[in-house]
Structures are given as C-alpha cells and as structure tokens.
Amino acid sequence: MQSNAFYYAHACADDERQVIDRVLSELKTATGNLGFLYVTEPLGAQLEDILDQCRTVTGVEHWVGAVSSGVCATGVEYYERPAAAMMIADLPANSFRVFSNIINTLKPYDAEQQQWLGNALPYMGLVHGDPSNPTIEELIKQLAARTATGFLVGGLASSDAAPGCACVISESAVSGGLTGVLFTEAVGIRTGLTQGCSPIGPVRHITDAQRNVLIQLDGRPALEVFKEDIGSELANDLERVAGTIFVGLPVMGSDTGDYLVRNLIGLDLTNQLLAIGELVEKGQDIRFCRRDTTSARDDLIRMLHHLKGRLDGPPRGGVYISCLGRGASLFGDDAGEIRHISEELGEFPLVGFYANGEIFQDRLYGYTGILTLFI
C-alpha cells in the first residue's frame, strides 16, 4: 500500500518465516531510500537476517526500527505473536541521516555530523533506544541539544531479550544505545503527544524527600496527602492503587501543563512514606495521576484534532509510538487506540510499536502516545 511516496505493509502469522515474506511481497515494487521496521519479540533473534532480506527485496539501504512486545500499523495492533510493520519512505536526497549507535559518548556522532551538514544542525530526529543502557536519558538530552529545534521523538525497545541481544536498528541490528534517523527541514514533520493518565488533586510541593522516597508533601506526611488526593474508596483499599495511580512530575518551563508520569513503587504505612520511580528533590512539585480509559481516549482525540489543524492535507506517512501500558490494556482488544488515528485523520501509511518509555523533545515519558506525521 502506498501514499505519495510512502509505502507500508504489515503481517502476523504463527510461522515466523511467513511474516517478513508476506510484508515484503507487498513492498517488492516500493521505491524509496529510508525504511522503518518494527517487529515483535519472536522475530528479534533473526533481526539481522531480516534486514538483509529487506535490502535484497526492496533495494532500500537505510533502515531504523526496534523490537517490541507489540507493533502497530494503520488500523491494526499485534501483540506477542510473530508480527512486523514496515514502511518505506522516498525522501529528498541528503535530507536525512541514519546515525551510528550511541552507547556512551557522542564524539563519533559529532564527527559523522560534521561530514554530513558541516556546522549546520539537523532539524529533528526520530530515535529508538535500548532500555538496558543506564545513561539513555542523558544521551537523549545530549542528542536533542544537537538539533536545531531541540526536538526528538521516539521510544525505547520493549523486548525481553537478554542483555546484549539486538533490539534496535541503526542500519544493522544493534544493542546497548540510542539509534535513529535525523532529518533536515526538507522533510516536513508534525508531531503530537497524548497522555494516558489524568491529574487528580492539586499540585503538591515536596517539602522533604530522599532520593526516590517522598517523606513530606506540603509539610505533611506524604502517604497522608496521597490518601487524601486519591479519595476514600482507594485510600481504604491501597492494594488497588497499583497500575491505577501514578505520580506526575510537571515539566519545568512548559506552558501547556505537561508532566512526566512515573510509577509508584512502594508504600510505607508505618512511616507514611511513598517510593516512586524517579529521583526527586525537596522543592519540586508533583501531582498524583489516575490511569483512566475515558480521559486517555479524550486526550488522544484532542491531540489528533490539534494535529489535524496543523495539516494542509492528508499525511503522507506516520510513525506512532505508544506505551506498553496503553494499547489493548487501556483501549481494548479491537485496536481501539490505533483506529482512533484513522478515524480522525483518515487512512494513511502508519507504522509503530509499543515502547518501554516514549521520547518527546528531550525527555523520556511514560504512559503516553507520540504521533509523528510526514507531510
């Protein structure tokens, strides 16, 4: 299937060998110079062989992508079973560059960048990261600072493969770092982010904390404030808060009320403490959030309406990266999340995956969906 020089295909089968054969049978006549490939975990071990096959059949040399527990394409979502979603784009010459795997330093990147654009900066990037790298958030910030817009979009692979096994694509199957593709302004792009959790209660001020443990909020025991904000029904049955209540950390300088969602990882009933999945400091603000299907759907539609208003016509292609905590577990088993995109924007070539963390601007998010449109 194609749309204005963007081609895509997807397949799911019990036989792993049939998946890529089916996808490539639809794309063997596609023309382009950049390929996006997302595969589920059963295909991860064959990733390098799959890339060789993709190059042989399509003639496309440049590839990016990731391994995930779930992949998606226009109107469909596939989880756990052998599946793949592939898109081939025909972009202007010299308008993009697939960069080498960044594991711990950007020095090799800087040298490659100088050869490509000299002292000019790329406009933005679409990236995929290996979640096993403990410095991945810092690498994201450093790479974003090397773009003209300070903007990256992308996500972390969600494969359960053993450490060192390839889970991202930077021309070849690699592991351990940050990979992806950079674009110049010659490639028209629009992006949007939608949250999967809605704030509850007021913004709270951290008055005492140690590392990732909240001790006091607004001068009161953290757990006491938490129970007040979540309401009596949940406060009287705290075992139910897991997977329902989260912590939102407001993004400094945001004029849209943006926030990063982090997990609650422990409650200390004796000492009235809360442990969360992020290091925090005294003086920061937080807000508790609830994972809610209705609010997630409403915010997805809001984001799609906003993007639609920034388009002059149908998108040529797109990449959608959503959190593993969204998808079927939040929107139902009928590909509800991905179908909303087609309902609001029409059908166009779209591929993507369900991530272990989503990248937007220079930050790592959770429980969000990020849509990148090529126009």
pTM of the model: 0.91
Count CB neighbours of 299 within 10 A. Answer: 19
Q: Where are the domains of the chain?
A: 2-195+295-374, 197-290
Element (H, E) at 110: helix 107-117
Give me the CATH code for the 197-290 domain, please: 2.40.30
Residue pLDDT, tens place only, 277-334: 999 999 999 999 998 899 899 999 999 999 999 999 999 999 999 999 999 989 988 8
What is the predicted pLDDT for the residue at 334? 86
What is the predicted pLDDT for the residue at 35? 99
What is the predicted pLDDT for the residue at 356? 96
Residue recorded with tokens 């019990």 = 14
Given a cut of 70, the residues of the chain with pLDDT beneath it are 1-4, 161-163, 253-257
Residue recorded with tokens 């005294």 = 282
- Lookup: tokens for 343: 């309902």
Residue pLDDT, tens place only, 234-248: 999 999 998 889 999
What is the predicted pLDDT for the residue at 197? 86
- Give first-to-last CA distance, the chain, whole Å: 17
What is the predicted pLDDT for the residue at 252? 76
Query: What's the mean per-residue pLDDT of the chain?
Result: 94
Measured in residues, the chain has a length of 375
Residue 213: strand pairing partners: 210, 275
Report the DSSP pairing between strands 168-170 and 363-365. unpaired
